[in-house]
Structure 1
């Protein structure tokens, strides 16, 4: 499906099916607004964050302030959203880019990386038509699919990842369908990142999900065809399945189970010939007021090429120290355990919650022990301000270097 015309035809055909199935006569009439009144909702988000990085030969300190502002106007089934985003560095003793950019002021290789460059940009500009469970969204938009393992907005970083795309979502009886065709991936690195500001290409995200008895399942496909020569190795096709369920144990206590498998191989102009597997298994339950979970994730390797997910919200996976944003050539296995708790009885700290996570990292091939990591977080709210403290401690053995990171963040959203 390399050719753009083929991808466009597929997109039009599927979106056309969505329109016929989801928005025909009765469905549209049942969802007709009682009045066509223009509603405008302001969008405002302010986030202040301090980040410290401690490594054997490098360190970094950054204090950044991110502002997002915009508005969404709704009229009947239509909505129009526009949003700008700006990040300022109040303390900039850090390297904003994990790749060389000679001559760029924010490339400071004497410091460790904190990937929050100073930046001002148009973050989102989209038009949407929505009726019931069916919608089409056109323009620059935020896309978070499932747990964001394959496609996400990278919301942890100050500058958000967005996509220039058309996305259709529809409920067809018991089946939910989701199809996106994107032509640009706008990265978190902002306007001064040179060729890594945004990646052009032809990208298709497709999913079909349904529930059968107690089991929720989803079939998915991600076809990534990049245009930039230096990024062609990330062109891939991934097809997979995710299953989840909850099994009663005693009383109201349940065991949550989730499993995912995918097969990834080279695609389009990728110069590498490889095919490898992705596995994710997780179980969790409540125990004595704590939420306890354990899991195992494998990003396989074949012919010296590790499985990659270049559009994911990568900070959510494989440790908060971010040592594995790019999968090593020998692949990655991550066995982890997490314990968290919400403290509802603390009146002067509403929303108080704490989490501790341990990771054991190993290679998929070669029997290499990469290292271990401890992560911890504490969050609460003061009025409308969300406070978050996080810490990550990666102990290197066969990969990377010892890395400790600390964050203190305050966020206010209107």
Structure 2
């Protein structure tokens, strides 16, 4: 595939270059991160220091553009379980060492139409169902054909066919018995959205069809068909006061290779009020479960979003990357404050969020979590970030990995 895309790209760029100059854009994205994890039930604390570099270039002329980008992650301090390095005596920090071709794509772009072919980054809507997992050092990318069309005013159609998803587990994916953490997941996936923008917000209908071809049963359980809608918008009362709102509903059921016969619902709602630098946010999210499905634990199976940017949702301790078999209810409230300028630096942004977690089936109470983050943009290209998460479970563990967990992250980003 790489040779085909590269050959077609060179042909397109060379042909275009005959009529004018080819534009060259260098790409560089680096991140140095320290992460420590203290998890109950695991004797040793995780301490990871990782450095990630993405570098590449984009050549463009007229409507054509060819992009190639490599990604490399180096583990400077390896006292952690990366998920695929076999170090099970430490808690997981899902940033394994890696070197790979992160993106290689050919794009055709005009005002109403964009077509992208190859290994690419895809973030759809709020990334609840499809995203690049930008928080992790190794990005999730898609071998795909994506078509975006906006030929009618206020209307946008976005359809993707993906035959392989390159995971965050990198070149060691699947090693040391971690067969449910492969380097890539092959299949026939279709992601489709249709968005209509109004004065009060954007209404988006979506269909996500995930069809895993993998032999591992745990991966085939991700095969699903999800149909739903989301509405999101904002209203400004004045120059300093704004209300934002969002609501989503979806219905998911088994699809093609999934061995479990199930169906489950998804609900989400969020309100945010901003005033003079402060922002108060409150929300509710439910990933439902089917109590009649003969799934995990022999009793229930829940709504799953395997290709989402999961760290964005349900707490930064990452306890619910896989929805518990009994489903997940997340009630949360947060407050943030932003200072636009700190001397010659800024913005400086702080946020604190509290979550209460429970189940959809069985009235279980999983636990609660406090999250906090402080970020400062020190220059046009550089950002410093500190993040803390503290998850405390209630009573007896209800699902694999349910344990009191504290995380602290300190990182430095530089983007060209």
Q: TM-score range by the shorter chain?
A: 0.7 to 0.9
Deviation of residue 248 (structure 1)?
5.0
Partner of 2:81: 95
Q: Is the Cα contact below 8 Å between 1:139 and 1:166 reproduced in 2?
A: yes
Are 1:390 and 2:401 an aligned pair?
no
Q: Is the Cα contact below 8 Å between 2:31 and 2:51 reproduced in 1?
A: yes
Partner of 2:255: 267
Give the Cα–Cα distance (whole angstroms) in 2 for the partners of residues 276 and 148 of structure 1: 19
Could you tell me which runs of 5 or more consecutive residues in structure 2 were left unpaired when the two chains were aligned. Answer: 1-15, 294-299
Give the Cα–Cα distance (whole angstroms) in 2 for the partners of residues 193 and 364 of structure 1: 32
Give the Cα–Cα distance (whole angstroms) in 1 for the partners of residues 70 and 408 of structure 2: 28
1:356-367 equivalence runs, <5 A = 356-367=352-363
Distance change >3 Å, CA 288–CA 131, structure 1 → 2: closer
Report which stretch shifted further, 343-352 or 234-243. 343-352
Q: Is the Cα contact below 8 Å between 2:330 and 2:355 reproduced in 1?
A: yes
Give the Cα–Cα distance (whole angstroms) in 1 for the partners of residues 405 and 387 of structure 2: 14
Q: Deviations over 1:41-67 (max 9, x none)?
A: 000111100000001232200000001
Q: Is the Cα contact below 8 Å between 1:50 and 1:407 reproduced in 2?
A: yes
1:239-258 equivalence runs, <5 A = 239-247=227-235, 249=237, 253-258=241-246
Partner of 1:350: 346
Give the Cα–Cα distance (whole angstroms) in 1 for the partners of residues 138 and 101 of structure 2: 11
Aligned equivalent of 1:218, options 197, 200, 204? 204
Give the Cα–Cα distance (whole angstroms) in 1 for the partners of residues 377 and 238 of structure 2: 33
Distance change >3 Å, CA 288–CA 350, structure 1 → 2: closer
Report which stretch shifted further, 250-259 or 363-372. 250-259
1:366-377 equivalence runs, <5 A = 366-377=362-373
Partner of 2:167: 187
Aligned equivalent of 2:88, options 109, 114, 128? 109
Are 1:282 and 2:279 an aligned pair?
no
Q: Is the Cα contact below 8 Å between 1:37 and 1:76 reproduced in 2?
A: no
Give the Cα–Cα distance (whole angstroms) in 1 for the partners of residues 327 and 115 of structure 2: 37
Q: Is the Cα contact below 8 Å between 1:124 and 1:140 reproduced in 2?
A: yes
Deviation of residue 216 (structure 1)?
1.5
Partner of 2:69: 83
Q: Is the Cα contact below 8 Å between 2:228 and 2:248 reproduced in 1?
A: yes
Q: Deviations over 1:22-48 (max 9, x none)?
A: xxxxxxxxxx99x74210000011110
Partner of 1:333: 329
Q: Is the Cα contact below 8 Å between 2:113 and 2:151 reproduced in 1?
A: no
Q: Is the Cα contact below 8 Å between 2:241 and 2:276 reproduced in 1?
A: no
Q: Secondary structure at the match of 1:191?
A: helix
Q: Deviations over 1:307-351 (max 9, x none)?
A: 000000000000000000000000001011111111124215422
Are 1:40 and 2:24 an aligned pair?
yes
Give the Cα–Cα distance (whole angstroms) in 1 for the partners of residues 23 and 196 of structure 2: 33
Deviation of residue 160 (structure 1)?
0.4
Give the Cα–Cα distance (whole angstroms) in 1 for the partners of residues 327 and 102 of structure 2: 33
Q: TM-score, normalised by structure 2?
A: 0.87
Partner of 1:299: 287
Partner of 2:409: 407
Partner of 2:10: none
Q: TM-score, normalised by structure 1?
A: 0.88
Give the Cα–Cα distance (whole angstroms) in 1 for the partners of residues 340 and 201 of structure 2: 31
Q: Deviations over 1:269-312 (max 9, x none)?
A: 11111111001100011135301110000000003001000000
Q: Secondary structure at the match of 2:172?
A: coil
Aligned equivalent of 2:41, options 57, 60, 71? 57
Aligned positions, number:
375
Q: Deviations over 1:234-270 (max 9, x none)?
A: 1000000001233455675232111000000000011
Q: Secondary structure at the match of 1:69?
A: strand
Are 1:73 and 2:69 an aligned pair?
no
Give the Cα–Cα distance (whole angstroms) in 1 for the partners of residues 20 and 308 of structure 2: 38
1:1-12 equivalence runs, <5 A = none
Deviation of residue 166 (structure 1)?
0.2
